[in-house]
Amino acid sequence: EALDRIQLLEPQLHSFLCVTAEQALDQARQVDAKIAAGEEIDLLAGIPIGIKDNMCTKGIRTTCASKILENFVPPYESTVTQKLKAAGAVMVGKTNLDEFAMGSSTENSAYQVTANPWDVSRVPGGSSGGSASAVAAQECVVALGSDTGGSIRQPASFCGVVGMKPTYGLVSRYGLVAFASSLDQIGPFGRTVEDTAILLNAIAGYDPNDATSLKVQIPDYLKALQPDLQPRGRIKIGVIKETFGEGLDPVVEQTITKAIDQLQTLGAEIHVVSCPRFRYGLPTYYIIAPSEASANLARYDGVKYGIRVPDAENLLDMYKKTRAAGFGAEVKRRIMLGTYALSAGYYDAYYLKAQKVRTLIKQDFENAFKQVDVLVCPTAPTTAFKAGEKTEDPLSMYLGDLMTIPVSLAGLPGMSIPCGFDESGLPIGLQLIGKVLREDQLFQVAYAYE
């Protein structure tokens, strides 16, 4: 059914960079055989899943939506896809993204532009736009995305699905092509909170192959799903004052306010809290993320991976020509920004300063979490915008990540859940932010709300 749906909708949506139909049917048959033999199967067995094309899949091309990795077939499997395979989940294909996950609209892909299933003239958000769109359009049941500054939560909001960025270190990044290593985190998309919890259950956990992986006991997130918010004592929810007002679409504001009222009706205690340095998240991120990206992307030099342009005069010329031909405009912009911020004499003024502000932003969250259990705010200041609307103006594109970035800088878990529609019928997302490793509380609130 998923493959039929893909065939029907892909000409319009372009959610997938490749569809792995044969492997998928093969895997599905294996699950069938297990059922026929009376064997126990996992909850995810036989479930069609989409994987963002920045996670390495052994023997299956992994492009990061970049020309430079056009011919890259990984010789190894990422930890997350390995876990999903072991659970019997059926990968139906690799989903589109902004090149190297840099972007907020999936328009930076070197291969295709993904459409928003609610209105195909609009973007699905990004960078995990392919995964969000595929789940929303029922081309697969669940999907994996990666989130560095909002790339799971913002597309979830634009496409009307549930998306979660777990605590930094909860899910292994082994086999995830690195963008900004101190921020990158893999997470689940689903059409329901329950599906999302099932997927997180399957991918979370310590991995010795990822040096930043947390060695912690992973709870069963399904146990957090309770019909209302009362039985475990009144949960305290903080509304982040600074996320309202200027720049926020009035319809988004009204819808979020209504959702907060609903949470109160469900039994939550609502407080207004302040994170005074929240707004410095964006400039801080655009120093840190490009800096780390410039270092991470140095490996694409035409020697070890991906394409190499012919007819170079010497080694340096080969590097230059390969990188000029292989990277798109946004990736080049980030490499230049990052290289500049890290260069001798500027490091203290930019990178080091940004790291200090990052600590202050984190402290704001810590203070807020002394008063409440979960924080809420809009996921994005607007609903999905038109394709092409912001491509000429990177700054306005960056501004859309205002609400998600501070959460990434602080390494906290964040989730976007659908909470209504604007006047044109486009979905709006409510962002829930949790304490470190309290994904269970986000699931609890999200499930009661849903």
Candidate ranges 144-152, 302-310, 336-344, 421-429; the one touching ligand GLN (CB under 6 A): 144-152
Which is the catalytic residue, given 151, 157, 172, 294? 151
Instruction: For residue 73, report the phi and psi dihedrals to the nearest 5 degrees.
Output: -115, 105
101 lines the binding site for ligand GLN (CB under 6 A)? yes
Residue in 3, 24, 102, 135 binding ligand GLN, rule: CB under 6 A: 102
Residue in 127, 157, 172, 284 binding ligand GLN, rule: CB under 6 A: 127
Say how far apart CA 287 and CA 177 lie, in whole Å: 20
Shortest Å distance, C-beta 97 to ligand GLN: 8
3-state secondary structure 31-58: HHHHHHCCCCCCCCCCCEEEEECCECEC
119 - beta bridge partners? 116
Give 3-state DSSP helix, strand, coil % of the chain, rounded to 5.
40, 15, 45
Which is nearest to 276 in space by CA: 365, 385, 378, 163?
Answer: 365
Residue in 148, 294, 296, 382 binding ligand GLN, rule: CB under 6 A: 148
| CA of residue 82 relative to chain centroid, distance | 19
Is residue 94 among the annotated active site residues? no
Comparing CB distances to ligand GLN, the nearer of 99 and 301 is: 99
Which is nearest to 374 in space by CA: 321, 333, 415?
Answer: 415
Give the CA angle between residues 390, 395, 396 to the nearest 5°: 45
Q: Which residues contact 149 (CB under 8 A, 6 or more apart)?
A: 180, 183, 285, 289, 401, 404, 405, 408
Is residue 291 among the annotated active site residues? no
Candidate ranges 58-66, 141-149, 245-253, 413-421; the one touching ligand GLN (CB under 6 A): 141-149
Give the CA angle between residues 364, 184, 10 to the nearest 5°: 125
Shortest Å distance, C-beta 200 to ligand GLN: 18
Say how far apart CA 427 and CA 417 lie, in whole Å: 10
Which is the catalytic residue, given 78, 105, 109, 127? 127
Say how far apart CA 170 and CA 221 lie, in whole Å: 13
Comparing CB distances to ligand GLN, the nearer of 135 and 397 is: 397
117 lines the binding site for ligand GLN (CB under 6 A)? no
Binding mask 294-333 for ligand GLN (x = CB under 6 A): ----------------------------------------
Shortest Å distance, C-beta 430 to ligand GLN: 19
Comparing CB distances to ligand GLN, the nearer of 147 and 195 is: 147
66 lines the binding site for ligand GLN (CB under 6 A)? no
Is residue 127 among the annotated active site residues? yes
Residues that bind ligand GLN (CB under 6 A): 101-104, 127, 147-151, 179, 289, 401
Question: Which residues have a catalytic role annotated?
Answer: 52, 127, 151
